[in-house]
Amino acid sequence: MGALEGSWGSLTSPPPPRGPSPADSVSCEGRTLLKSFVAASAQRGDSVHVLSFDVSEDQFKAGLSTELTSLILFHDAFRDPLGWAGEESVLTLGDFSASELAARLAPATQGPATVVLDSLSWLLLRLPFPSVCQALVQLPRRASAAGVRITRLLALLHRDLHPHGELETLHSLAGVVVMLELAPETMPRGDGVPQTAVMLHRKRRGQVVRKKEYFVVLPSLDLKPLHEPSRDAVSIKEGPEDCKVSTAADPTANLTFNLRLSEAERQAKESVPLPYHFSEEKKSSLLQTPAGVSKVYYEPDASDDVDEEDPDDDLDV
C-alpha cells in the first residue's frame, strides 16, 4: 500500500507491489503528483481505475490529454455519494467495501490494474477508520479472487485533516509514503513550482528507507528531479514499524540492573590479581631449577581449608 501526503496522499496495499502514496497539506497540494502517477500507470499499460470522491470527473481530467483520459476508467463518487438519486452507475459511500469494489472492478479490467482513491481523506471523514483500513487491506485479495490483479493502490491523503495516530496507522499499512512540502526558495523555478518529497519506503524485510528529493511536475505530468539527494537525505531504519529515523540507541538504558562500574568499583576490580599470574617465588624457582628436576607448585586460594594433620578430611569415604 502506498500513501501520498502533502495535502493529499496515496496508499498501496500488501500483498501486491506497493505504489507511492502522496500526502499533502494546505500549503502544498498533491493532486498534480497523483495525476502524474496515474499517467505513468496508464502509459505502462495498466487498467487504471480512478475512484473520484473529492472532485468531479471533469475536474480530475483537467490537464490530462484526450489520449490519456481514454485509457482511464472513472468511477464517479462525487455526483451522488449517498445514492439519493438512485443511479446504478455511480459509486456511493455504501459501496466502499472490498467485496463491492472487487465486483465493480472485475468486468472492465484487462491485465494488471492500478486503483486510485481521490481522496482517502474524504472516506476517513465519513466512514469508521477501522472499516476503511480493512477495505484497503482486503481489496487486493478480494480482487484476485474475482480475477483482477491489483499491482498498485494509490490514495491521496490530506494530512492536515487527520490526527497523528491515524496518520501513523496509515503509514504502517502503506508500502511507500510520499509526504509533500514546499521546496526552499533557493531552488530554481524555471519549469514550475519545485516541491520536496519526503519518501518512506517500507521494504519486505522490515527496513524503512527514508529519502528526500526535490522535483517539479512538468505540464506533461512528467517528473523532473532537480538534483540527487545528499547522503544526509537518505537513511535506513531496521525497525519494522516506526517510520521516524532515530539516533543511536543506548543499549544500557532502561535496564533493571546496572552494567556500569563506578570509579571505586573499577579500581577494586583492577587490584585483584589474575589467577594465571606467577608469584615472585614461583618465578625465581623456575629460573633456578637445574635441568632434569621437576617440581609441583601449589598456591592455595584464600577459601581453601588446608589441614596438615588430616589432608584427606574433605573426602567422603
The predicted pLDDT at position 133 comes to 92
Residue with cell 537513511: 235
Q: Say how many C-beta atoms besides its own lie within 10 A of residue 55's C-beta.
A: 15
Which range, of 29-43, 50-64, 241-255, averages the lowest pLDDT?
A: 241-255
Determine the residue type at 45: G
- Read off the pLDDT of residues 201-233 as tens digits, 9 standing for 90 and up: 887 777 888 888 888 888 888 888 886 555 555
Query: What average pLDDT does the segment 238-256 reach?
Result: 56
How would residue 270 be classed by pLDDT, with cut points 50, 70 and 90?
A: confident
Query: What average pLDDT does the segment 110-139 reach?
Result: 91
Kind of pairing between the strands at 47-52 and 2-6: unpaired
- Read off the pLDDT of residues 8-42 as tens digits, 9 standing for 90 and up: 334 433 333 345 566 666 667 889 899 999 999 99
Query: What average pLDDT does the segment 95-119 reach?
Result: 89
Query: What average pLDDT does the segment 124-151 reach?
Result: 92
Q: Kindly tell me the sign of the dihedral angle through the C-alpha atoms of 33, 37, 38, 43.
A: positive
Average pLDDT, the chain: 78
Determine the residue type at 66: T
Given a cut of 80, whether residue 307 has pLDDT beyond it is no
Given a cut of 60, whether residue 241 has pLDDT beyond it is no
Contact yes or no for 155/10 (Cβ under 8 A): yes
Residues 6+ apart with CB under 8 A from 212: 196, 197, 198, 199, 229, 233, 234
Strands of the chain, DSSP E: 2-6, 22-24, 47-52, 72-76, 113-118, 150-155, 157-158, 176-182, 195-202, 208-217, 223-227, 234-237
Given a cut of 70, whether residue 167 has pLDDT beyond it is yes
Given a cut of 90, whether residue 115 has pLDDT beyond it is yes
Topology annotation, domain 2-237: Rossmann fold (3.40.50)
Which range, of 48-52, 59-63, 66-70, 247-251, averages the lowest pLDDT?
A: 247-251
Q: Say how many C-beta atoms besides its own lie within 10 A of residue 195's C-beta.
A: 23
Given a cut of 70, whether residue 237 has pLDDT beyond it is no
**Of 156, 153, 145, 130, nearest to 99 (Cα)?**
145
The predicted pLDDT at position 215 comes to 87
Given a cut of 90, whether residue 116 has pLDDT beyond it is yes
The predicted pLDDT at position 309 comes to 65
More confident residue, 220 or 86: 220
More confident residue, 128 or 259: 128
Q: What does the alpha-carbon distance between residue 55 and residue 61 come to, in Å, rounded to a whole number?
A: 10
Given a cut of 90, whether residue 50 has pLDDT beyond it is yes
